[in-house]
Structure 1
Amino acid sequence: MFSDAEMHALADVAFELADVARNATLPHFRVPNLFAENKFADGFDPVTVADRDAEQAMRDVLARRRPQDGILGEEFGNTNGTSGLTWVLDPIDGTRGFISGTPTWGVLIALSDSDGPIFGLIDQPYIGERFIGGFGIAELRGPRGTHPNAARTGVALSDATVFTTFPEVGTPDERRAFERVARTARLARYGMDCYAYALLAAGQIDLVIEAGLNPYDIQGPIAVIQAAGGIVTDWTGEPAHDGGRVLAAGSAEIHAEALRLLQEG
């Protein structure tokens, strides 16, 4: 679909998006008493000046470098394009973690066509780690250098590590489905935001199970994980790039085990 030169140019745009988002978010991270507006009356879904500034900075880059492309962003919605490509942006995935001072949040960027994401980034500005997937790239660039990403294989569910944001999100039935998997796994960890998907792509963990996601929550991670050899679907085994209930796995075998348990109820 793309020449080598086109892929290089598109990846370079993605890297610039991540760079400007780093510059917009870091001045606000671990600032005492950072104001967070609640977007929902029922529950707590915070947004800060850092979220909005980062997305606007990325949109400014795209207006200059890729005005023909569409944009779907968490804070400023949908902008139609003419190229058939859409940049899917989450300026801070994990704003709850951001305002709490935990370095589990990240900037999510995906380049997608009508079939879903084809290139993506999970960028953690505070740690300085950038997980990249697509166009033949599957790697982590960070303070310890550049390393290939490869999802972990050959692990049975009974030996697996599974991450989630339950019980923070999801319905009681969805949480019970997750708990069927968690009871079988060796270790379950909670509240890691997008960094859980990065760890799966790096081969550190085996499963991520979530619900209630939007497209901008998952399209970047899908590209990163698939490039590393992992699998991301919804809870019926269908594509997950529209969000909803998501199951990410390091291998087809452990994905099948987890999917069966999620569907048992």
Structure 2
Amino acid sequence: MQDAQQIIDTAHEMADAARKAILPLFRSSSIITDNKRPEDFDPVTQADRAAEAAMRDVLSRRRPQDGIFGEEFGRTDGDSGLTWILDPIDGTRAFLCGAPSWGVLIGLGDDAGGIRYGLIDQPYLRERFEGGLGRARLVGPDGERALATRQGVTLSGATLMTTFPEIGSSAEAQAFRRVADRVRLTRYGLDCYAYALLALGQVDLVIEAGLQQYDIAGPLAVVEAAGGIVTDWQGGSAAQGGQVIAAASRDLHAQALEMLRG
């Protein structure tokens, strides 16, 4: 892409702006929480809204020609053929608990449905995972390091992560359990940070269901740039969300996909 550097610079400026909006409210007793879904608990806070507004302000100055799709404020059309896909706080439940496993997700999609670039930013830990446009790196308090998924791990030796033990529907939960019963270790609850750990070579599989596009666009770009593979449970594109499997290698992906399919 001819404007790759401008895109990268814009993404980092957005992530910086989101950090600035969110951190004063993290672990704050004054946090205000609304519930999006009265039938259960789907929280949104003023930190979610402030972070997305801050990112949109950056885009309005730097790349007004691009479209935007954000969790909190919906869609804004553009005419460049590119759309920024924003989740200002992925893991709001963790945010409310004071656990630093939430993150700011930024993805850049094209009109063909592909994801060109993405960031997973954890403001409290000051860790930023970047993938796409020639980048695959973590920048954090200890400096910069390359991202690379762990290779050569079989299903029986794999570490699997997901956000909720009660994943998706009953049928989806049964499919997940078939994989979980075959791996070495299963852990729960890290939201987008699980994908960051996969890209870092710390875990081997992430399997989830019921995702929205803004939940997966940024992580997909980061994992694939690190050498992993991200698809839906049928082996097709996961760029729109839904059922998602992210794996460190193609061989491991094939083994896990076979178990998901029963």
Instruction: State the TM-score, normalizing by the size of structure 2.
Output: 0.98
Amino acid at match of 1:142: G
Does the 8 Å contact 2:167/2:176 carry over to 1? no
Alignment partner of 2:204 out of 203, 206, 211: 206
Does the alignment pair 1:90 with 2:87? yes
Deviates more, 1:165-174 or 1:23-32: 165-174
Mapping for residues 74-89 of structure 1, pairs under 5 Å: 74-89=71-86
Residue aligning to 1:125? 123
Partners of 1:177 and 1:206 lie apart in 2 by: 18
* Structure 1 residue 168, shift from structure 2 partner: 4.8
Letter in 1 for 2:178: R
Report the 3-state secondary structure (helix = DSSP H, G, I; strand = E; otherwise coil) of the residue aligned with 2:181.
helix
* Structure 1 position 54 matched with structure 2 position 68: no
Q: Deviations over 1:85-109 (max 9, x none)?
A: 0000000000000000100000000
- Alignment counterpart, residue 221 of structure 1, candidates 196, 219, 222: 219
> Do the aligned partners of 1:151 and 1:200 also contact (CA within 8 Å) in 2?
yes
Q: Which runs of 5+ in 1 are unaligned?
A: none
Structure 1 residues 116, 23: CA separation in 2 closer, same or farther (over 3 Å shift)?
same
Alignment match of 1:172 (pick from 166, 170, 173): 170
Name the SS for the 2:222 alignment partner: helix
Q: Name the counterpart of 1:196.
A: 194
**1:235 paired residue among 233, 236, 254:** 233
Q: Which residue of 2 aligns with 1:43?
A: 40
- Pick from 132, 135, 139 the counterpart of residue 134 of structure 1: 132
Aligned mates of 1:94, 1:222 — CA distance in 2: 16
User: Which of 56, 65, 69 is residue 72 of structure 1 equivalent to?
Assistant: 69
Q: Deviations over 1:51-71 (max 9, x none)?
A: 000000000110111111000
Gaps of 5+ in 2: none
CA-based RMSD: 0.9
What's the secondary structure of 1:63's corresponding residue? helix
Separation in structure 2 between the aligned mates of residue 120 and residue 195 of structure 1, nearest angstrom: 14
Give the secondary-structure state (helix, strand or coil) at the position aligned to 1:184: coil
Whether 1:28 aligns to 2:30 is: no
Cα distance in 2 for partners of 1:250, 1:124 equals: 21
Deviations 1:230-251 (A, max 9, x none): 0000000000010000000000
Displacement of 1:33: 5.5
Paired residue secondary structure (2:172): helix
User: Aligned-pair distance for 1:166?
Assistant: 2.7
1:243-254 correspondence to structure 2 within 5 Å: 243-254=241-252
Moved more, 233-242 or 31-40: 31-40
- Distance, in Å, in 2 between the alignment partners of 1:144 and 1:25 is 22
State whether residues 112 and 119 of structure 1, in contact with CA within 8 Å, keep that contact through their aligned partners in structure 2. yes
Structure 1 runs (4+) greater than 2 angstroms displaced:
32-35, 166-169
State the Cα distance separating 1:35 from its structure 2 match.
2.4
What SS does structure 2 have at the residue aligned with 1:12? helix
Alignment partner, residue 63 of structure 1: 60
| CA contact 1:116–1:219 (8 Å) conserved in 2 | no
- C-alpha separation between the residues in 1 aligned to 2:89 and 2:115? 19
Q: Distance in 2 between matches of 1:160 and 1:32?
A: 39
2: CA distance, partners of 1:166 / 1:209:
10
Aligned equivalents of 2:67, 2:98: Cα separation in 1: 32
Residue pairs, 1:141-180, within 5 angstroms? 141-180=139-178
State the identity %: 61
One-letter amino acid matched to 2:209: A
Between the aligned partners of 2:78 and 2:173, the Cα distance in structure 1 is 38
Corresponding pairs, count: 261
Contact between 1:70 and 1:81, CA under 8 Å: does it hold in 2? yes
